[in-house]
Each structure stands twice: as C-alpha cells, then as structure tokens.
Chains A and B, each alone.
Chain A
Amino acid sequence: MTKRLRLALLAATVLAPASTALAQDTTLTIESWRNDDLTIWQEKLIPAFEAAHPGIKVKFTPSAPTEYNAVLNSKLEAGTAGDLITCRPFDASLSLYEKGYLAPVQDLEGMKNFGDVAKSGWSTDDGSATFCVPMASVIHGFIYNADAFAELGVEPPATVDAFFALLDKIKEDGTYVPMAMGTNDQWEAATMGYQNIGPTYWKGEEGRLALIKGEQKLTDEPWVEPFRQLARWKDYLGDGYEAQTYPDSQNLFTLGRAAIYPAGSWEISVFNEQADFKMGAFPPPVAAAGDECYISDHVDIAMGMNAKGKNQEAAKTFLNWVGSAEFASLYANALPGFFSLSDHDVKMEDPLAQEFVSWRGKCKSTIRSTYQILSRGTPNLENETWNASANVVKGTETPEAAAARLQEGLAGWYEPQK
C-alpha cells in the first residue's frame, strides 16, 4: 500500500512538470522607456489583451527614459531583448531596423489603419518599409491655471501681442509666476519653447520640408523669429529659472504658483493627478488675428517586433492588436495626452485632452523640425537646438548668433544645406 502510494507520488512528481509545460503560455516581454505607464499597462492594457487572446501572457518591463536607448542597444546586441520593442521615432529606430534588430511590419493586418504621416516616424526614407506600429503622438501648446485666469479676469490669448500683454498683466499682479519654465535641463527651452511656438513662423510642414530640401536656412527669418520670441520669455519666468529643472517647473505649476505652463500634451495625466485647480489650454498664439495657426503634433511612440525574438507569431498578434480600434481607445483614455495616430474614431473623455486634440481641426499639424533626417550627423541638430534655445532664453546668446551657429553646424555635414 505504502509502496504503491510512493510510486504514485513519484509518477506525479515526474509527470506533473511535463503536463504543465505542454499547456504553458507564450510570454511576450515589452521593452519600453515609459516607466510612468507601468500601472496602466499592468491594470488596463495587458488584461484587455490577455482576455481576448488566451494563451499569450504579456510582461511590461520599462527602463528609465534617459537610459532606454543605451540599455536597449546592449540588450539587442547580447540577444536578451524582449519580443516587443517600444520605438523612439526616426533615426534611433531606423538604425535598429538597418542593423536587423527590428522586423518589418508593413504587411501586418493592423497597419492598414495608419496614414503616411503616422508611419513617417518609423519608415525608411523612401517609405518602402515600416518597422513599428504607431501608437501615439503628442501635441504642444500652453496649459494654464483656469482658476488663476478667472481670478485675474484674463482670457487665453489668440495673438502674440495678447500673449505678452497677458504675461505683463500676470507679472504686474504678482500673485503668480507668469510662466513655469526653466533652462537647467535645456530640452524644456527647445521642446516646450522653440518647437512649440516655432511652427507658426516657419509654417509647419512647408518650412520643415523646405529645410530638409535645402530651400530654406536656419538663418532665414521664419527660423530666427521663434528665437526672438523666446528671448522675450526671460522676464516672465520664475526667480532663478536658470537652475530650475523640468520637475521643478511641473511642481511650480501644479502647486498653483505659476499661471501658464508651456506644455506638451503628455503632461495632462500627471497634471490631472496633481493639480487641484481647473486647467485649460491654448494653442501657440499667432502673429496677427486671423492668421493660420500651426501646431506641433509630434509622432512620439510606436511598437515594433524583435526580429530575433522567439515568439514571432504571438508578437504579431500583439502588434495587430496595437493597431486595432480597441487599443486606440484604451490607450488614449488611459493616457490622456497621448493621441492615437490611427484612423479609428477615438472618443476621449478628458476635457483637457479634448481641447488639445480639437486644434487638429482648426490648425495645421507638423512634427518637430529637427527630428527627421536633420539630426543624423554631427553636430546633432536636436541637441544643438536644446543648447541654443536655453542660451537664447537666458540671453547669453543673441537669436541671430544662435541661428547662425545652428546653420553652420547643419551645413557642416548635411549636403542640401551646403
């Protein structure tokens, strides 16, 4: 009796792992830099996918944004990267594709739902191959403290003159810091400043493409004027803005100490959580009333597939789902401020996100001027623009000198600009 029991136990121990192995799920691992979104992936997106696709488990394993590119590159080289890879736009991902780390995805079912602009960030220069499924774009503008505006009796401005008149009034009143932005991290001045107000002057895509073709120069009026505007911002920033970091600016605004925050729409979810006042948003002001307005609607995030991953089929299933209407709606509502790039009609509930996305209807969209092709060489135009914008805001370099320096650097390696 005991002997038989023992045998049975032994058999169970030996056979049990084998039987579980047969029924084992495929596990997909996602590489990402969005560690802020960890809970949203774990609580909303992954359960929704797993419910619809039994047999596939998904793990979201983000790393810090500033380290992501370096970490991902070394993981891919060592062959230990996850099956799904969150793609930065343009050259960082393009080089991964050229090295054979990212698989082409243009033939996936889910890719049908995206237009050319959406795919531009993750396609080869000739557009023949696409290697990531677009997830979201971010829109630039200004978020303001609506309670403060009501208290001061001011309205969001439409023109540049109204914008500075508004800043003057807030400054005069003295209760609020007019604008929350610092130059310590440099990219704030470039991304929230130059790339935010710039498209209005270089007329969005028209100027951006002319620059790539070499028909315009960075020293031309449309590219210098945004720097001149930026130079005027200095007087409206908080005390010691030179040492103010990006989190400092966010806190300054969400604590209700600043009235206006030059923003990207990705701030919305963070601000909704932290600010206890009403917020509104306005697009970058235009030079004269009635002028066409332009916004930066920048392709920001996509997802691709590790070409050497072990679970290719499951990864394809996941990417198709990323292209679906269900994902678009889930993602846009879980992360207000990250706007779907798909053609699906996505309903968003967040009023601030609705305000941002409504500008797509009345303004012309463009992407950040420095991202496509122009940051391929050395010196890197994007990084130089950070430095130049910060210098111009601080007044340590004149707008003209900064523009001349950028142009000289670009002409140094970019054939059409020589």
Chain B
Amino acid sequence: MAAEQPKRPAIRWHIAVFLAPAVLVYTAVMILPLFNTLKLSLYTDVANSQVFIGLDNFRLLFGDPRWAGQFWNALGNNVWFFVIHMLVQNPIGILLAALLSNPRLRMRAFYRTAIFIPTILSFVIAGFAWKLILSPLWGVAPNLLDLVGLKSLFQPWLGKEAYALTTLALISVWQFVGIPMMLIYAALLSIPDELLEAAECDGVTGMAQFWKIKLPLVLPAIGIISILTFVGNFNAFDLIYSTQGALAGPDFSTDILGTFLYRTFFGFQLQLGDPNLGAAIATAMFAIILIGVSIYLFGIQRRLRRYQF
C-alpha cells in the first residue's frame, strides 16, 4: 500500500531551448527597438542632452493646432488610402483569383506571373514608372487618351489636390493586387473537389456556386488579407516619398503618417529633425495599428467560421 508519491513534473528544458533562438532574435531586433522608441518619445533634447518630459511630446502633437492639424490630415489621408485598397485592391484580387481558378482558363501560369510581377518591383521603380506614364509633358497617358478621343479627360493627376492621393492609392493597388490574388487563389485551390461536385449534384453551379460555396470557404483568407492591407497601408511611406517627396505635395494632400513621421524625425531641408517628437508620432502609429489589429483579432477573426474538410 505504498502511497503514490505525487511526482514533481520534471522541468521541461527543451521548451525553453527550442524557444530561445526565436525569442532572442525577436527581442533584439523588434522588442528592444520598439520600447526604445516608446522611451524616446518621453524625452526631449535640451542643450544636446536628453531630458525626461513625460507626455509633453504627445501634448504638443495633439494639443498644438499646427501639429494636430498635420497629424489628423495625415491620418485622414491614410484612412482614405486604406479605404481605396479595401474597395479596389481586394475585390479585384478576389475576382482575379476566381478567374484564375477556372479550370477552362488557358495560359493560367502566364497571367498569374504577369499580375504578380509588379509586387516584386521596388516601390521606387513603380513610383517613377507611373510618374513618367502620367507626366503631362512626356507621359503616354495623354497620348493614349487622345487615341480614344478622351484627351479632355486628362488632368495632371499627381499635381492636383483633389486627385493626387487617389491616384497614388491606385498605383499602389496596381502594384500589390498580386498578393490578395495569390492568397485567395491558394485558398480556392484547397477547396476539395468532392465539395464542389456535391454542390453541383445539388444544382448549385456557376455564380451561385461561387457566392454560396467558395466565398464562405475563403473568408478566413480574406480576413488575413484585410489585416495585411491595414498594417501595410498604415506603415506606407516609400511610394509617396519617391513620387511626391517628403513634403507630400500638392499642399500636403498626399501626406500620410509615414511621410509625416519621416519629415519630423529626420527633418527636411531647413527643418532640423526632432527624433523625440518623431518617436511620439511613431508611437501613435503603433497604437493605431495595434488597435486595428486587436479589433480584427478579437472582434472578427474569432467569429469567422472555419470548415474542416
């Protein structure tokens, strides 16, 4: 009747060992810089030494009408940039994926590659190529419009407050439409044929099949794409900087959080950089993205229904 000794669970070292590389690397290149940025935003430069000032940088950023005006302008532009991506890039991506997954389509590999190629181009190349295409002086856009008799529709789009941001958002859509297309395409391919055959037996074919069977099955993929688009857009910078410069003209109409951060942090022309206030903007961007991602994770992703095949 030896009483069962409660066995002390052995310390499972292997867990720590296996986690260590990832944790160390991630801490060194992501977490430490992140906290350093947060810390930097609480200091200011007085006579070349860093002085702790609490939340004063944020008070300046949100309280001073000029800084606040610029911040809200950049945020508003950023939201519009995101809206265009959600309304144009993702539906087109889904449409292209649906077309590509049609078994009767020929030259599928060619289309897939051609549509995906802009994604691997540098922002700078895409930016300059489009700037040249749309140039009122040497661009092909005015000539092409002239060929179809629509020359009157041509505008110097990148130079007008009303159109510049939308134009840039569409350029970005052109460049990145390949990513949603690929992800959805992969999701569509993973739908088992039995399911589709069963649907056909039940008389669900064509468009109805897409809406009722395929789309619900790729919804999780669409969710992932939306969140990738959100993070990507709110971190965007390169395209605007390479086409419009750090002043994000005309008249700050294309200024997004990334360019606003760059101008403040590094300075521009005669404006000297202010790393502390820049860090405050970076912190605000981090908060915005964090909130967005949290809303998605807790509010949407958990409610998505997943199907096991």
- Tell me the minimal C-beta distance from A417 to chain B in angstroms: 16
Q: Does A211 contact B (CB under 8 A)?
A: no
Whether the pair A92, B135 counts as a contact (CB closer than 8 A) is no
Whether the pair A248, B66 counts as a contact (CB closer than 8 A) is no
Whether the pair B251, A240 counts as a contact (CB closer than 8 A) is no
Whether the pair B159, A243 counts as a contact (CB closer than 8 A) is yes
Whether the pair B267, A386 counts as a contact (CB closer than 8 A) is no
Nearest opposing residue in chain B for A371, CB measure: B270
Q: Does A267 contact B (CB under 8 A)?
A: no
Cα separation A186 to B137 with both chains bound (whole Å) = 18
Whether the pair B271, A383 counts as a contact (CB closer than 8 A) is yes
Whether the pair B270, A390 counts as a contact (CB closer than 8 A) is no
How big is chain B's contact interface, by range? 20 to 34
Cα separation A102 to B4 with both chains bound (whole Å) = 78
- Tell me the minimal C-beta distance from B286 to chain A in angstroms: 22
Q: Does A147 contact B (CB under 8 A)?
A: no
Cα separation A90 to B272 with both chains bound (whole Å) = 11
Cα separation A390 to B245 with both chains bound (whole Å) = 14
- 1/0 per residue, CB under 8 A from A, across B5-44: the answer is 0000000000000000000000000000000000000000
In chain A, residues 356-405, which have Cβ atoms closer than 8 Å to a Cβ of chain B?
370-371, 375, 378-383, 386-387, 390-391, 394, 396
Q: Does A205 contact B (CB under 8 A)?
A: no
In chain A, residues 219-249, which have Cβ atoms closer than 8 Å to a Cβ of chain B?
238-245, 248
Whether the pair B247, A183 counts as a contact (CB closer than 8 A) is no
CB < 8 Å neighbour of A243 from B67, B135, B252, B272: B135
Q: Does A252 contact B (CB under 8 A)?
A: yes
**Complex A-B, nearest 3 residue pairs according to Cβ-Cβ distance, in ascending order:** A240-B136, A242-B159, A243-B159
With a cutoff of 8 Å between Cβ atoms, the chain B residues found around residue A381 in the complex are 270
Whether the pair B271, A375 counts as a contact (CB closer than 8 A) is yes
Nearest opposing residue in chain B for A377, CB measure: B271
Whether the pair A95, B159 counts as a contact (CB closer than 8 A) is no
In chain B, residues 260-300, which have Cβ atoms closer than 8 Å to a Cβ of chain A?
266-274
Cα separation A91 to B268 with both chains bound (whole Å) = 12
Whether the pair A391, B270 counts as a contact (CB closer than 8 A) is no
CB < 8 Å neighbour of B157 from A90, A187, A243, A390: A243
- Tell me the minimal C-beta distance from A114 to chain B in angstroms: 23
Q: Does B97 contact A (CB under 8 A)?
A: no
In the complex, 28 of the A-B residue pairs with CB atoms within 8 angstroms, ordered by the A residue number, are A69-B266, A70-B267, A182-B159, A184-B249, A185-B245, A239-B136, A239-B137, A240-B136, A240-B155, A241-B159, A243-B135, A244-B136, A244-B156, A251-B137, A252-B137, A378-B271, A379-B66, A380-B269, A382-B269, A382-B270, A383-B268, A387-B247, A387-B251, A387-B252, A390-B250, A390-B251, A396-B251, A412-B66
Whether the pair A91, B270 counts as a contact (CB closer than 8 A) is yes
Nearest opposing residue in chain A for B161, CB measure: A396
In chain A, residues 164-188, which have Cβ atoms closer than 8 Å to a Cβ of chain B?
182-187
With a cutoff of 8 Å between Cβ atoms, the chain A residues found around residue B225 in the complex are none
Known A70-B267, A243-B159; 11 more pairs at CB < 8 Å: A95-B272, A98-B48, A183-B250, A241-B156, A242-B160, A243-B160, A244-B136, A251-B137, A375-B271, A390-B251, A396-B250
Whether the pair A73, B66 counts as a contact (CB closer than 8 A) is no
With a cutoff of 8 Å between Cβ atoms, the chain B residues found around residue A394 in the complex are 250
Whether the pair B250, A244 counts as a contact (CB closer than 8 A) is no
Whether the pair B136, A370 counts as a contact (CB closer than 8 A) is no
CB < 8 Å neighbour of A240 from B131, B159, B246, B267: B159
Whether the pair A186, B159 counts as a contact (CB closer than 8 A) is no
Cα separation A90 to B193 with both chains bound (whole Å) = 71
Q: Does B134 contact A (CB under 8 A)?
A: yes
Q: Does B158 contact A (CB under 8 A)?
A: yes
Known: A91-B270, A241-B156, A243-B156. A390 touches B137 (CB 8 A): no
Q: Does A6 contact B (CB under 8 A)?
A: no
Number of interface residues of A (CB under 8 A): 44
With a cutoff of 8 Å between Cβ atoms, the chain B residues found around residue A251 in the complex are 137-138
Q: Does A280 contact B (CB under 8 A)?
A: no
- 1/0 per residue, CB under 8 A from A, across B234-246: the answer is 0000000000111
Whether the pair B270, A383 counts as a contact (CB closer than 8 A) is yes
- Tell me the minimal C-beta distance from A169 to chain B in angstroms: 23
Q: Does A4 contact B (CB under 8 A)?
A: no
In chain A, residues 77-101, which have Cβ atoms closer than 8 Å to a Cβ of chain B?
90-92, 95, 98-99
Nearest opposing residue in chain A for B158, CB measure: A243
Known: A98-B48, A391-B251. A248 touches B271 (CB 8 A): no
Whether the pair B270, A186 counts as a contact (CB closer than 8 A) is no
With a cutoff of 8 Å between Cβ atoms, the chain A residues found around residue B252 in the complex are 387
With a cutoff of 8 Å between Cβ atoms, the chain A residues found around residue B267 in the complex are 69-70
With a cutoff of 8 Å between Cβ atoms, the chain B residues found around residue A69 in the complex are 266-267, 273
Q: Does A409 contact B (CB under 8 A)?
A: yes
Known: A383-B268, A390-B251. A240 touches B137 (CB 8 A): yes
CB < 8 Å neighbour of A184 from B155, B159, B268, B273: B159
With a cutoff of 8 Å between Cβ atoms, the chain A residues found around residue B135 in the complex are 240, 243-244, 248
- 1/0 per residue, CB under 8 A from A, across B67-84: the answer is 100000000000000000
With a cutoff of 8 Å between Cβ atoms, the chain A residues found around residue B246 in the complex are 66
- Tell me the minimal C-beta distance from A286 to chain B in angstroms: 28
Whether the pair B266, A70 counts as a contact (CB closer than 8 A) is yes
Whether the pair A99, B270 counts as a contact (CB closer than 8 A) is no
With a cutoff of 8 Å between Cβ atoms, the chain B residues found around residue A380 in the complex are 268-271
With a cutoff of 8 Å between Cβ atoms, the chain B residues found around residue A187 in the complex are 269
Whether the pair A378, B66 counts as a contact (CB closer than 8 A) is yes
Cα separation A241 to B266 with both chains bound (whole Å) = 29
Whether the pair A248, B250 counts as a contact (CB closer than 8 A) is no
Cα separation A378 to B274 with both chains bound (whole Å) = 10
